[in-house]
């Protein structure tokens, strides 16, 4: 059965996102399996980082990673004695971090532009293709120096 590609936003601090990119994995909502089970092979994810570092106040407010779900497996990884988060394997695309601020007026998933941070409090949510294409077009821009 073929289904349409879905597009997801996962919220995590930038330091955690960069670790996930290095490991080729995604975690969501403090390691919960249920959000990851909603994703399917060939769906796309975008990470949004409200903070630079978990538990610290320094703001980030950027989209910090973009990638594609490469299989249908949700698995657990023992990270420490009392933390065994669920994960998904992701093929991350080479992209640059992009501020959300100039994109807010054009993003459909933010109905109230004054309270634009509201949707992110869920930690994981689906966005439409328009929003994915808007964000990804900024993140995946080719470096102008490479044009020749």
**pLDDT confidence of residue 79:** 86
46 Cβ partners below 8 Å, 6+ apart?
A: 7, 8, 9, 10, 63, 65, 66, 127, 132, 135, 136, 139
**pLDDT confidence of residue 2:** 56
Superfamily (CATH) of domain 7-141: ph1033 like domains (3.10.590.10)
> Among residues 25, 23, 24, 26, which one has the least CA distance to residue 35?
26
**pLDDT confidence of residue 141:** 73
Show the low-confidence residues of the chain (pLDDT under 50): 1, 144-148
């Amino acid at each position: 059965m073929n289904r349409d590609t879905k597009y997801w936003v996962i919220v995590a601090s930038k330091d955690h996102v960069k670790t996930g990119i290095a490991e080729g994995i995604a975690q969501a909502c403090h390691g919960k399996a249920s959000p990851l089970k909603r994703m399917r092979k060939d769906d796309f994810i975008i990470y949004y980082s409200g903070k630079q570092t978990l538990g610290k106040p320094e703001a980030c407010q950027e989209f910090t990673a973009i990638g594609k779900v490469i299989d249908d497996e949700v698995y657990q990884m023992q990270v420490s004695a009392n933390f065994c988060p669920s994960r998904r394997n992701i093929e991350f695309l080479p992209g640059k971090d992009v501020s959300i601020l100039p994109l807010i007026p054009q993003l459909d998933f933010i109905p109230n532009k004054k309270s634009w941070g509201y949707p992110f409090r869920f930690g994981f949510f689906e966005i439409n293709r328009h929003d994915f294409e808007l964000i990804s077009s900024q993140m995946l821009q080719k470096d102008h120096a490479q044009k020749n």
